Structure 1
Amino acid sequence: MEFSNILVERKADIFIITINRPKALNALNSETLLELSAAFDQVKEDPTIRVVILTGSGEKAFVAGADIAQMKDMNPMEGRRFSQLGQETFRKAELLPQPVIGAINGFALGGGCELALACDIRIASDNAKFGQPEVTLGLTAGFGGTQRLPRLVGSGLASEILFTGEIIDAQEAYRIGLINHIYSKETLMDEALALAQKIAKRAPIAVQLTKSAIQRGSNTDLDSGLAYEAEVFGLVFSSEDQKEGCSAFVEKRPANFSGQ
């Protein structure tokens, strides 16, 4: 698929997706969502990709939100379909076998914040801003914000952010657990790549099964989550990587993981 609104780049076993609508502060319209969906499909089908980095072009915005120009004249059915498209696209990112790192450079508002929430790990530049300002426009969050934000920061803080529409800075986002780290805007992508490379050196099957267990456990009761953890723990013993990793530890040498 030819991409007009996103850029894709491969650096060894790391796949970088950059939302590239800088004049619109990388706002998400339907075309951009469809391109993101296609890129996520491409990643899912490529077992040689071990980690994904998701970012926005420029220093001003990761994604400033969904495209208001497209939404302002929608009827109820069009609004519902647009919400479903965003939800389905972000869910693809969440369910990728590979870990997804969100490198948040600048504004992550509305749909941008919701896209960040669908990433496994979020790191941000010191000029990043987060928020769900939909209520200031007479809208509700429609790309998963009402569901993922409470799961991440708790219902009280999420409710305050969603009800007021207020924007928080990177320091506050870090304080409430919305992001893992804050870096300068100049070093953000270098730090994202360093983190991705660290993950990519680990056993790919074990990393992917760990992501699967986290996802399953986050949406079920503790006993069901523990039962699933035991299943994936048993499953890794069928991999060559498990044998290589344990042998390397006993033999006091670096492990060489093949992803098999």
Structure 2
Amino acid sequence: MSEVTLRMEPPLAWVLLNRPEKHNALTPSMADGLVEFLGRLSTDSDVRVVMLAGEGRSFCAGADVSRLAQFKPADAVRFHRKLNIVCWAIRSCMKPVVAVLHGYALGGGLEIAEWADIRIAADNAKIGQPEVNIGLNGGAGGTIMLPRLVGRGVASYLAMTGEIVDAQYALSVGLVDLVVDACSLMDKARELGLKLASKPPEALWAIKQALSRFDEMSSWAGLEYEASLFGHLFSEEETRRRFDEFLKR
């Protein structure tokens, strides 16, 4: 049985972590599977939005500690680099990526979700970066994206204490973007995905690129890049069509 599966539901594609008996704890082969699917979906014209979710009772409980415990330093670096590639595959995907969190969303699992464009969580989700409790720092960009989302102070608190927080706290600090009743999570996630899919894909791509790159640019360079994307969209037929529709109202 594959540890990562793909369910096509055009215009949505669901990439599913599939080790439910282990709360979808991450393995090197799962990282490879995520990269493969994300790369394929990035250029699939039938797909407008990628939904990243977990089978069973949890999104992802983090890396599989039973395997981590056997790693030598070189093994750990190789695994971390695989997770780095997953993070970059999410960021560079030409489609919006929505992370759908329920149950445990911890460690490397949460950190992968932090690279998604939007995070929607069930109200029963347990969220955190507890790696410090086993003597590790965050992997999968956890010390990079966390402070960008919540600020350095909250990031320090979460990463240094290893505190596992509830979804409402995560929402209050900006770690997740929406919290919904656990019973309706998949329906609400699908609604969100379809709402995104109804928007012009070139505009979504431009917004994603600008938001993703702004953290790495000076303010002026960010403004210039945003302007170049803005101008590019005026060459798109879909943009012109929507102008016409708006003016006819």
TM-score of the superposed pair, with normalisation by structure 1: 0.93
Counterpart of 2:176?
179
Residue 48 of structure 1 and its aligned partner are, at CA, apart by 2.6
- Tell me how far apart the structure 2 counterparts of residues 219 and 174 of structure 1 sit (CA, whole Å): 25
Matched, 1:140 2:137: yes
TM-score of the superposed pair, with normalisation by structure 2: 0.97
Task: List runs of 5+ in structure 1 lacking aligned partners.
Answer: 253-260
Instruction: Tell me which amino acid in the other structure corresponds to 1:163.
Output: M
- Tell me how far apart the structure 2 counterparts of residues 204 and 128 of structure 1 sit (CA, whole Å): 30
Matched, 1:112 2:109: yes
SS at match of 1:15: strand
* Displaced runs of 4 or more, over 4 A: none
Counterpart of 2:31?
33
Task: List runs of 5+ in structure 2 lacking aligned partners.
Answer: none
Within 5 Å, give how 1:239-254 maps onto structure 2.
239-252=236-249
Q: Deviations over 1:199-223 (max 9, x none)?
A: 1111111111111111111222211
- Tell me how far apart the structure 2 counterparts of residues 193 and 220 of structure 1 sit (CA, whole Å): 33
SS at match of 1:139: coil
SS at match of 1:62: coil
Within 5 Å, give how 1:1-260 maps onto structure 2.
4-58=2-56, 60-252=57-249
- Tell me how far apart the structure 2 counterparts of residues 142 and 171 of structure 1 sit (CA, whole Å): 24
Q: Deviations over 1:63-105 (max 9, x none)?
A: 0001111110111111111111101112111111111111101
Q: Deviations over 1:25-53 (max 9, x none)?
A: 00000011111110111111213311111
Count of aligned residue pairs for this structure pair: 249
SS at match of 1:74: coil
SS at match of 1:123: strand
Q: Is this contact kept in 1: 2:26–2:108, CA < 8 A?
A: yes
Tell me how large the CA RMSD over aligned residues is: 1.0
SS at match of 1:238: coil
- Tell me how far apart the structure 2 counterparts of residues 94 and 128 of structure 1 sit (CA, whole Å): 24
Instruction: Tell me which amino acid in the other structure corresponds to 1:41.
Output: G
